[in-house]
Amino acid sequence: MPIKLAVLPFLLVVLVIGSSLTAMAQDSLPEAKHAAIIFPYPMYSEKWRSSIGLTLLTTPEDITEAVRVRVPSIDFRVLRRINDHFMAEGRINSQILQNQLAVGIQYVLPLTDRLFLSAGAGVGYWFGFLTVEGFNSKGSGWLTYPNLSVGYRTKSNLLITARAQSSINLYYKAFNGNEELSSGKVFYNGETFTIALEQPFYHHKHLTLAFSAINNYFYWQTWLLFYRVNRKIFYPQITVGFIL
Amino acid sequence: MRTIFIITCSLLVFVSCKKDYKAPVPDYNNWDAFTAAARLALSSQSRSAMEGVYGLTDGNDIFGDTVAVKWSYVITGTDTLYHLSFFCGKDIAYIICEGKKSNGDILLNGYWRKMNGVETGIVRFSIKAQQGADLIAGNGAITPGSIIISGVFGNGQTVPGTSISFSYGRKLFNNGPFRILAHRSGGRTSDLLPVSENSVEMIRKTSEFGSNGIEIDVRLTSDGIPILYHDNTINLRETQKSGLIGPIENYTFDQISTFIRLVHGEKVPTLRQALDAVVYQTGLSFVWLDTKYIGSLKVVRALQKEYIQKAAVAGRNLTIVIGLPTTDALDDFLALPDYADAPNLCELGLDDVERSKAEFWAPRFTLGTQNELVAQVHAAGKQAFVWTLDVPEFIEQYLRDGHFDGILSNYPSSVAYYYYVQH
């Protein structure tokens, strides 16, 4: 896929910002009812919002075969209000052997009191290592993630988000013993489509349940198993999180 | 209810996102000039003269700037079929052709494929008499630029129309015997090859992909017959739907032979059928029997012994080793009464190499080149192979920086390229 297509989400950011000048951007409902980490809801009064959960990824059996990594990854997310429309976001995924730290920024636009839109971009640094019998490997790399989300709040306050996210590989480095392989080649890596459901769970706690379809040439959680291939690999992923 | 319906539909759309990739070999048997031409009957000397490192003057955006060109053969009945393979420097591409003579020219007809993707297409090449065909026939010295292979290639099943040409540069690198070992007899099923991994059909084809040796996975049926099969269970990655489930060791060979077909329709071969194909139908010089089961290796050892003798009688220079990937396999091997005489390849530490009296040590590539340990192995008169090296950049690095005597790969064409284009 041409790299030019990957910048579309950035263009959308500009368009959204432009359109916001005329948008009816006010929500009259109490913010606490909408506590969400994926849903594109503005942070009007809260400064911070965070969630902790797990993601579970299924590796492609046709490639990894008998090696089926089903170890859940810790998923910690945090949002920081900047103003009524902008918020910063951070995310840590850790599986001990493979980890990612990501930061980004989101522009959020309420279209109506039920329909919301956001556009953003983030950058992630992944790293991993394995030094057990038969392995003396480590790897790291940089990726960037432009994204676009549409959120719809139902009458029963179920928050439904559809998110499309691109992934662009910026840098890759891997070591086997002393042998190093590194590449600064920037390439379009693939896209992730997520459907997320968020709703009150218990007392004031809220639950996030997200299903993601990841279609990537290279996925950092599989760096140890195989290098990027010249066709996209499908990874289904489920995320469960509790908003703190 | 409507919300649940929408969410359910959305999830269904999600799970349907997985694309089914295929890379079928295009049907290239419709080039009239080729079909009408006489069968190519090049002497061994002529075929050897044609092999070499060629530079691309057209088509290098698809196949890279350089290719290594090498012949292989397979024996079918009383017939020997030769294929000319072009191992390319870009995207693990290769080209495989059959050849014929036509009025002093040489025609090459075949297909190309990029192994790390699904791109493929038809190729039609020729070598004109005055552009090298005469020299190949023995009428003069072959020098850089003296052989020009030119023609067209296309995408998929379309009639080829894009120009491509190769110019002879130099001989293939040859620094003594180097083992280009194909994983699972030729490559993984997931790489969309035209035949199934661990099949007799793959053994017949693997030399076209650049390998001069194979690794095959050995298991035992419930009635004690060694067969080729990789995974722990019968599954759709390796086989067509059969109704049989669980470990393949739970079934007799008759049951397996009756009910199971590999993904491309082949039968699960016995080790005997596989070794028979190696000895009598191919030019392969190395077989690595990767023992995938725990238990007595007597029956495998008996077949190893039998086929080493058969290869010697047939005048074949063939090494067959029993692979020892685990300490359990090592223990089973050491329990053989004649283990000291059984050629074996140990994947464990050097102490275990000594215990098994292995002639070959094969560490995992994730440990690096380990040049000091490889030097120790060489000093002991043994050889070292590295497995399973698939990333082209690493293959190039290990050949350049390491001192291994062979590389096991799912992409033998990539190993062949980086090995043969060395100076």
Percent of chain B with pLDDT over 90: 83
| Test the A interface: residue of B20, B183, B188, B190 with most A CBs within 10 Å | B190
Give the pLDDT of residue A2: 41
Q: Do A193 and B17 touch (CB under 8 A)?
A: yes
Spell out the SS3 assignment of B36-81. Answer: HCEECCCCHHHHHHHCEEEEEEECHHHHCCEEEEEEEEEEECCEEE
Q: Name the more confident of B2 and A208.
A: A208
Q: What is the mean pLDDT of residues B100-108?
A: 90
B297's tokens: 């290796």
Phi, psi (deg, nearest 5) at residue B395: -60, -45
Give the pLDDT of residue A16: 41
Helix (H/G/I), strand (E/B), else coil: B299: helix
Closest CA in chain B for residue A61? B237
Q: Do A65 and B365 touch (CB under 8 A)?
A: no
Range of the domain at B89: 32-170
Q: What is the mean pLDDT of residues B117-139?
A: 93
Nearest to A176 among B21, B231, B367 (CB): B367
Q: Determine the Cα–Cα distance for residues B307 and B381; give it in Å rounded to an integer.
A: 24
Q: Determine the Cα–Cα distance for residues B66 and B86; give it in Å rounded to an integer.
A: 10
Give the pLDDT of residue A4: 44
Q: Which residues of B374-407 are buried (b: 16+ CB within 10 A; e: fewer)?
A: beebeeeebbbbbbbbbbbbbbbbbbeebebbbb
Closest Cα in chain B, distance from residue A176 (Å): 5
Q: Are B186 and B260 found together in one domain?
A: yes
- Count other C-beta atoms under 10 Å from residue B126's C-beta: 20
Q: Are B204 and B343 found together in one domain?
A: yes
Q: Determine the Cα–Cα distance for residues A142 and B189; give it in Å rounded to an integer.
A: 31
> Is residue B401's pLDDT more than 70?
yes
Q: Name the more confident of A57 and B262.
A: B262
Q: What is the mean pLDDT of residues B48-72?
A: 95
CATH 3.40.50.720 fits A3-20+40-243, yes or no: no
Q: Are B222 and B326 found together in one domain?
A: yes
Domain termination residue (choose one: B105, B137, B170): B170
What phi-psi label fits residue B97: left (phi over 0), alpha (psi between -120 and 50 degrees) or beta? beta
Domain containing residue B314: CATH number: 3.20.20.190
Residues B209-238 have pLDDT tens digits of 999 999 999 999 999 999 999 998 999 889
Q: Do A231 and B230 touch (CB under 8 A)?
A: no
Residue whose tokens read 């349907």: B16
Q: Which of B229, B213, B209, B339 is nearest to B273 (CA)?
A: B229
B365's tokens: 């590539």
Q: Are B306 and B396 found together in one domain?
A: yes
> Is residue B5's pLDDT more than 60?
no
Closest CA in chain B for residue A235? B18
Q: Determine the Cα–Cα distance for residues B102 and B33; give it in Å rounded to an integer.
A: 8
Nearest to B17 among A158, A160, A215 (CB): A215
- Count other C-beta atoms under 10 Å from residue B306's C-beta: 13
Nearest to A177 among B91, B230, B367 (CB): B367
Residues of A in contact with B10 (CB under 8 A): 162, 195
Q: What is the mean pLDDT of chain B?
A: 93
ipTM of the complex: 0.73
Q: Which residues of A92-117 are buried (b: 16+ CB within 10 A; e: fewer)?
A: ebebebbbbebebebbbbbbeeeebb
- Scanning B296-389, the segments in alpha helix (DSSP H) are 298-313, 327-334, 350-355, 371-379
Give the pLDDT of residue A7: 46
Q: Do A226 and B11 touch (CB under 8 A)?
A: no
Give the pLDDT of residue B409: 96
Report whether A99 contacts A86 (CB < 8 A).
Answer: no
Residues of B in contact with A195 (CB under 8 A): 7, 10-11, 14
Q: Are B147 and B259 found together in one domain?
A: no
Report whether B355 contacts B334 (CB < 8 A).
Answer: yes
Give the DSSP H/E element, type plus range, for residue B200.
Answer: helix B200-205
Q: Determine the Cα–Cα distance for residues A72 and A77; give it in Å rounded to an integer.
A: 16
Name the amino acid, one letter, at B236: L
> Is residue B18's pLDDT more than 70?
no
Domain presence at residue B84: yes
Report whether B188 contacts B198 (CB < 8 A).
Answer: no
Contacts of B121 (CB under 8 A, 6+ apart): B26, B111, B112, B153, B154, B155, B156, B158, B160
Residues B329-340 have pLDDT tens digits of 999 999 999 999
Q: Where are the domains of chain A?
A: 3-20+40-243
Q: Name the more confident of B246 and A3.
A: B246
Give the pLDDT of residue A213: 93
Handedness of CA A232, A233, A238, A244 (dihedral sign): negative
Contacts of A138 (CB under 8 A, 6+ apart): A127, A128, A129, A130, A131, A174, A175
Give the pLDDT of residue B60: 86
Q: Are B110 and B213 found together in one domain?
A: no
Q: What is the mean pLDDT of residues B184-192?
A: 91
Handedness of CA B411, B414, B420, B423 (dihedral sign): negative
Give the pLDDT of residue B418: 98
Q: Do A136 and B390 touch (CB under 8 A)?
A: no
Q: Determine the Cα–Cα distance for residues B89 and A204; give it in Å rounded to an integer.
A: 60
> Is residue B75's pLDDT more than 60?
yes
Chain A interface residues (partner B, CB cutoff 8 A)? 61-63, 65-66, 130, 134-137, 154, 156, 158, 160, 162, 175-179, 181, 183, 193, 195, 197, 211, 213, 215, 226-227, 229-232, 234, 236
Domain presence at residue B357: yes
Give the pLDDT of residue A244: 83
Contacts of A132 (CB under 8 A, 6+ apart): none
Report whether B210 contacts B415 (CB < 8 A).
Answer: yes
What phi-psi label fits residue B362: left (phi over 0), alpha (psi between -120 and 50 degrees) or beta? beta
Domain termination residue (choose one: B137, B170, B203): B170
Q: Are B102 and B201 found together in one domain?
A: no
Report whether A23 contacts A113 (CB < 8 A).
Answer: no
Give the DSSP H/E element, type plus range, for residue B99.
Answer: strand B93-102
Q: Are B150 and B185 found together in one domain?
A: no
Q: Are B356 and B408 found together in one domain?
A: yes
Instruction: State which residues of chain A have pLDDT below 50.
Output: 1-30, 32
Name the amino acid, one letter, at A208: T
| Residue A220 vs residues A7, A91, A129, A141, B344: alpha-carbon distances, Å | 21, 15, 12, 8, 37
Q: Are B234 and B377 found together in one domain?
A: yes
Nearest to A134 among B189, B230, B364 (CB): B364
Residue B7 pLDDT class (50, 70, 90 cuts): low
Q: How many domains does chain B have?
A: 2
DSSP-assigned beta bridge partners for residue B123:
B110, B153
Residue B190 pLDDT class (50, 70, 90 cuts): confident
Q: Are B99 and B147 found together in one domain?
A: yes
Q: Are B206 and B159 found together in one domain?
A: no
